Amino acid sequence: MEVGDAIEGMISPVVSEGAVFKQALKQGMVTMQQDGILKVMSGVTTFDEVENLTGPLRW
């Protein structure tokens, strides 16, 4: 995740982690689980391995 001006301005004790996460998604951040699924689709890993590392798959 790249920390741009929008994210940097949000970092404070009064802004929730969820709010920062939502902003990061709006800016195009890909979660580890999403990246793992992309790697499954390209044959690099398996769904089981992605779940072992990131938890149950969320569709």
Q: Is residue 13 part of a domain?
A: no
Is 33 domain-assigned? Answer: yes
Q: Is residue 17 part of a domain?
A: no
Distance in angstroms (rounded) separating the CA atoms of residues 24 and 8? 11
pLDDT for 28 = 93
pLDDT tens-digit map of 26-39: 999 999 999 999 99
Of 26, 18, 19, the residue nearest 2 (C-alpha):
26
Provide the token pair at 16. Answer: 């929730």
What is the mean pLDDT, run by run of 10 residues, along the chain of 59 residues?
87 92 94 97 98 94
pTM of the model: 0.75
- Segments forming the whole domain that contains residue 46: 27-59
The pLDDT of residue 52: 98
Report the domain count for the chain. 1
